[in-house]
């Protein structure tokens, strides 16, 4: 039995990863450490809360005593660090907390793992620290080319700057101490349990409530969309086959302009829920500050070296995602009550529209 410390396991990707791992393997014990910020939700893990191979601890990855305590109590073999402040717009409103969790929290985990794993003869066998990072650390592309693992880091938002800083610390622990690490850099995920501050669930939620759909700028910024389960299988591949010290890009080979995503959602909802959900809901609003124009991932390395490819076609993934939100309106209602309302009016209440 191997033990995984999954941080941020109550968030979108972390919870999908825990469900994926428990469903796929019966020889991994999962310890989930999550602070339960606005983005963490234990409802995501209801189906496994009594699973004999799953334990949950509420706490902060910056809390050294707590993190070291987990390493003393469990023989942790892998750390998969998902915990982060993950939303670019929030990082523009309030950057400091991004430095705390994303940089100092990662440092705390690195130090605790090193203290527990390093002995007189180097690091114990079979240990690995996986840092879940993002394509945003590479900056923004023009109309041509793709990010490779050799693309220089050029983050623009406070969020991506904090992720890039964390990546460099993780790399430094390999370069300096030979700590076994991997960094994965993934493109935009979508799927069940994504908090409705992000493009796809926000548009679904607003459309269902006949609220305006705020499209930033000209709507032609491009993201490379990956179904979350494919991200989970990529991390699985990196855990088992990734070479220590390596970075792996993970992408969906699925670039789309934002406005096409919004129209696809409208098309599905209009056909399946209510004809009145149509393009008249779209409202072009003031652009995001420092808005990266285009992301596109070259995931050749992970395909060639680890045999990973994304399996979900966008048309299937987006349909499954929309249907999941339609089937889980209660989940959507819970996560959009309270703090969300305050965030939403702060974020969108003041945005200028075309009409202004």
Residue numbers 109-168 binding ligand NAD by CB under 6 A: 132, 134, 163
- Decide if 207 contacts 266 (C-beta within 8 A): yes
Residue 221 interacts with, from ligand NAD, ligand DAU, none (CB under 5-8 Å by kind): ligand DAU
Closest-CA residue to 106 (of 135, 85, 127, 137) = 85
Residue 151 interacts with ligand DAU (CB under 6 A)?
no
Identify which range of 137-145, 185-193, 205-213, 312-320 contacts ligand NAD by CB under 6 A. 185-193
Q: Sort strands 28-34 and 2-7 into parallel, antiparallel or unpaired.
A: parallel
In the residue annotation, 246 being an active-site residue is answered as no
Residue 10 interacts with ligand NAD (CB under 6 A)?
yes
Residue 223 interacts with ligand DAU (CB under 6 A)?
yes
Which residues are within 8 A (CB) of 341 and not within 5 positions of it... i.e. 6 or more apart? none
Q: Which of 34, 85, 135, 197 is catalytic?
A: 135
> Considering the complex, what minimum distance in angstroms separates the CB of residue 199 from ligand DAU?
4
> Considering the complex, what minimum distance in angstroms separates the CB of residue 15 from ligand NAD?
8
Considering only 103, 132, 215, 332, the residue that binds ligand DAU (CB under 6 A) is 215
Closest residue (Cβ) to ligand DAU?
134
Considering only 44, 61, 79, 87, the residue that binds ligand DAU (CB under 6 A) is 87
- Decide if 124 contacts 187 (C-beta within 8 A): no
Distance CA 240, CA 255 (A): 28
> Considering the complex, what minimum distance in angstroms separates the CB of residue 61 from ligand NAD?
4
Considering only 101, 106, 140, 249, the residue that binds ligand NAD (CB under 6 A) is 101
Output 196 or 242, the one with its CB closest to ligand DAU.
Answer: 196
Residue 295 interacts with, from ligand NAD, ligand DAU, none (CB under 5-8 Å by kind): ligand DAU
Which residues sit opposite 5 in a β-bridge? 31, 79
> Considering the complex, what minimum distance in angstroms separates the CB of residue 133 from ligand DAU?
8
Q: How many CB atoms lie within 10 A of CB 51?
A: 14
Q: Which of 34, 85, 136, 292 is catalytic?
A: 136
In the residue annotation, 136 being an active-site residue is answered as yes
Which residues are within 8 A (CB) of 176 and not within 5 positions of it... i.e. 6 or more apart? none
Chain residues in the site for ligand DAU (CB under 6 A) = 86-88, 134-136, 187-188, 198-199, 202, 214-216, 221, 223, 258, 288, 295
User: Where do contacts with ligand NAD occur on this chain (CB under 6 A)?
Assistant: 7-8, 10-14, 34-37, 39-40, 60-62, 82-86, 101, 105, 132, 134, 163, 186, 188-189, 195
Q: Active-site residue numbers?
A: 135-136, 159
């Amino acid at each position: 039995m191997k033990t995984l410390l999954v941080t941020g396991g109550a968030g979108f990707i972390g919870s999908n990863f825990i469900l994926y791992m428990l469903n796929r393997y019966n020889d991994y014990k999962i310890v989930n450490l999550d602070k339960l910020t606005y983005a963490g939700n234990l409802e995501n893990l209801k189906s496994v809360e009594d699973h004999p191979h799953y334990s949950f601890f509420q706490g902060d990855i910056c809390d050294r005593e707590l993190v070291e305590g987990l390493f003393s109590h469990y023989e942790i073999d892998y750390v998969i660090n998902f915990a982060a402040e993950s939303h670019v717009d929030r990082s523009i409103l309030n950057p400091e907390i991004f430095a705390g969790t994303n940089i100092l929290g990662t440092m705390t985990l690195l130090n605790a793992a090193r203290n527990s794993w390093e002995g007189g003869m180097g690091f114990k066998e079979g240990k690995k620290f996986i840092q879940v990072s993002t394509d945003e650390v590479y900056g923004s592309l023009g109309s041509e080319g793709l990010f490779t693992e050799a693309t220089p880091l050029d983050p623009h938002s406070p969020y991506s700057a904090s992720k890039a800083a964390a990546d460099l610390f993780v790399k430094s622990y390999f370069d300096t101490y030979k700590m076994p690490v991997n960094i994965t850099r993934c493109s935009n995920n979508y799927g069940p349990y994504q908090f409705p501050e992000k493009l796809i669930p926000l548009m679904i939620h607003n459309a269902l409530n006949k609220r305006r759909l705020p499209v930033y700028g000209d709507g032609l910024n491009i993201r490379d969309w990956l179904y979350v389960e494919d991200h989970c299988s990529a991390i699985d591949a990196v855990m088992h086959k990734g070479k220590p010290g390596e970075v792996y890009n993970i992408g969906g080979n699925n670039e789309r302009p934002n406005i096409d995503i919004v129209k696809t959602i409208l098309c599905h909802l209009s056909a399946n829920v209510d004809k009145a959900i149509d393009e008249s809901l779209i409202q072009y609003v003031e652009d995001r500050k420092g808005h990266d124009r285009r992301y596109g991932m070259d995931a050749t390395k992970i395909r060639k070296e680890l045999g990973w490819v994304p399996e979900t076609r966008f048309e299937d993934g987006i349909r499954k995602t929309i249907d999941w939100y339609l089937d889980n309106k209660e989940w959507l209602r819970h996560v959009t009550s309270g703090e969300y309302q305050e965030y939403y009016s702060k974020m969108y209440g003041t945005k200028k529209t075309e009409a202004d």
